[in-house]
Structure 1
Amino acid sequence: MILSFRSALTVFAALTASQVAPAQVTNEAEPLIANGSSVIPTQVVLQPIEASAALPQKLEDPLQPVAENPTQTSEYASELEIDPHASLAEKVAALRGSDPGDREMECLAAGIYFESKSESLAGQLAVGHVIADRAASGRFPSSYCGVLFQRGQFSFVRGKSYPSVPRSSRQWQDAVAIAKIVDQNMHESPVAKSLFFHAKRVSPGWRMKRVGSVGNHVFYR
């Protein structure tokens, strides 16, 4: 059989290809290097990432409540540490503030403020002790607010209320301090055990024992 030149070339190419084994890919295969290159690439080995020792071992729970400072003391506790031998002015200076603390102390401070805010500290102390002594006497309501709002006793009271107070004023802050001093019995009254008082400008003709006068007020029991 006579083959053409084209057919002969086709047969020769087929025979040659069947004798060449395909390239094998193995783990030991060397990386390809460009012809004429003097740089031999290095093998990169991936290392596992280890946890840093600087990182916290346990994250705090942001929802947990913050622990209270066990050394923190309340304002009320610090008030009890005032030197009992200090002067009235020194005690007032240490306790002066705009917040009496609670409703009962608010009533006591209001009574002192409206009845004696223009008086000396001793005069304010005497008025505060009258309110406290009434509450302790058994003859009047047993609370500061009860004494303050008892009908017909204090002219500034209207039913169960009294005028607004300028809490940033020095007079109100002094009244708050006097109220705390009276409530804790930190300073004796100059007119002890008095239950009544009136302004010197009036003469109600009371048949009671007169204890004394402080500033513009006369005190009785």
Structure 2
Amino acid sequence: MTPGSALFCLALNIYHEARGEPKSGQIAVAMVTMNRAEWTPGNICQVVYERRQFSWTHSKRDPTPQEPRAWKKAQAIARGVIDGDHQDITLGATHFHARRVRPGWSQSLEKTVRIGDHIFYTQR
């Protein structure tokens, strides 16, 4: 897996946003990334690194995965999502947040589903 490739960027996003979630939660985060890639100009890496879209991308911490098992799982899920092996269980979601927070932007979107510790939304 090459750093900067779509697969690498998607796997990093899964790892950082959902590594503690069940497989369905990790797939859901990947689907949000893919759904955004459909309506946002650019590739998956541009979607992942778009300013202030995913919390881990604006952290000062080293983004290198530190948990080998979780990183391997994120890579496998990313590959499956890119290959079309998974259905969009988010019902077209383009946004999500952890249940413990209530971001202001969520009021302007339509809730689609809750999976694990995340709530997913789509444009109205």
- The alignment's TM-score, normalised by the length of structure 1, stands at 0.50
Secondary structure of the structure 1 residue equivalent to 2:102: coil
Q: Which has the higher contact order (CA 8 A, sep 6+)?
A: 2
State how many pairs are aligned: 119
Larger Rg: 1
**CA distance in 1 between partners of 2:29 and 2:55 (Å):** 14
Residue aligning to 1:218:
119
**CA distance in 1 between partners of 2:3 and 2:85 (Å):** 17
Return the offset for 1:185: 1.4
**CA distance in 2 between partners of 1:146 and 1:112 (Å):** 15
Residue aligning to 1:149:
49
Taking only aligned residues, the RMSD between alpha carbons, in angstroms, comes to 2.1
Structure 1 residues without counterparts, runs of 5 or longer: 1-98
Asked if the contact 2:93/2:120 (under 8 Å) is kept, the reply is yes
Return the offset for 1:189: 2.4
Tell me which protein shows more helix as a share of its residues.
2
Percent of aligned positions that are identical: 34
Return the offset for 1:191: 1.2
Deviations 1:159-197, CA, capped at 9 Å, x for gaps: 9x9511237x11001100110111111111221210000
Return the offset for 1:208: 0.7
- The alpha-carbon distance between structure 1 residues 103 and 152, as it changes in their structure 2 partners (threshold 3 A), is same
Asked if the contact 2:35/2:92 (under 8 Å) is kept, the reply is yes
Residue aligning to 1:209:
110
Asked if the contact 1:156/1:162 (under 8 Å) is kept, the reply is no
Structure 2 residues without counterparts, runs of 5 or longer: none
Residue aligning to 1:88:
none
